[in-house]
Amino acid sequence: MYEDFSAMCEALTKVSKNIKTAGLPKALTPLVIGVSGTGRCASGSMEVLEQLPHVKVPPSQLREWLADPANKTNNK
């Protein structure tokens, strides 16, 4: 838990920098996170995820995106 929203954002900034620098461990890739809906939970999830390096891929294009070797740049 974090003291407040600001402390959580600070921690996410550190995680984001680490991901940008070192990538994700191969055991965690591809990391696919699906968020559905438009309610408070989905909005809050997106607010957090927006602070991390990511690529938005529509579900209909996910299989094709994952198959493209050019999209494996953050896998270490």
Predicted confidence at residue 72, as pLDDT, reads 75
pLDDT of residue 76: 52
Residue 32: its pLDDT value, please?
Answer: 92
Q: Which of 53, 65, 45, 43 is nearest to 19 (CA)?
A: 53
Domain boundaries, the chain: 5-71
User: What is the pLDDT, as a whole number, of residue 59?
Assistant: 93
Letter for the amino acid at 59? P
The model carries a pTM of 0.77
Per-residue pLDDT of the chain (76 residues; tens, 9 = 90+): 899 999 999 999 999 999 999 988 888 888 999 999 999 999 999 999 999 999 999 999 999 999 998 887 655 5
Contact 19, 52 (CB under 8 A): yes
